[in-house]
Amino acid sequence: MENKKEITLRIPQELYEALTKMSEETGIPIAHIIIFALWNYL
């Protein structure tokens, strides 16, 4: 099993709504979308 850390992330409501929409459209959990975006940023 992968070693993972849990964090709390405060984001603007508009960003949360965009993540929710993308998650619903793709079937990908919000957490996975955020992890993907962070890895691509780094």
Which value, to the nearest 10 degrees, does the dihedral of the CA atoms of residues 25, 27, 32, 38 take? -20
pTM of the model as a whole: 0.84
- φ/ψ of residue 38, rounded to 5: -65, -45
Q: How far is CA 28 from the centre of its chain?
A: 9
Predicted local distance difference test score (pLDDT) of residue 8: 96
Q: What is the pLDDT of residues 10-33, one digit of tens each?
A: 999 999 999 999 999 999 999 999
- Banded model confidence at residue 36, pLDDT cuts 50, 70, 90: very high
DSSP 6-30: -------HHHHHHHHHHHHHH---H
Q: Which two tokens stand for residue 10?
A: 């405060």
The tokens for 16 are 């949360």
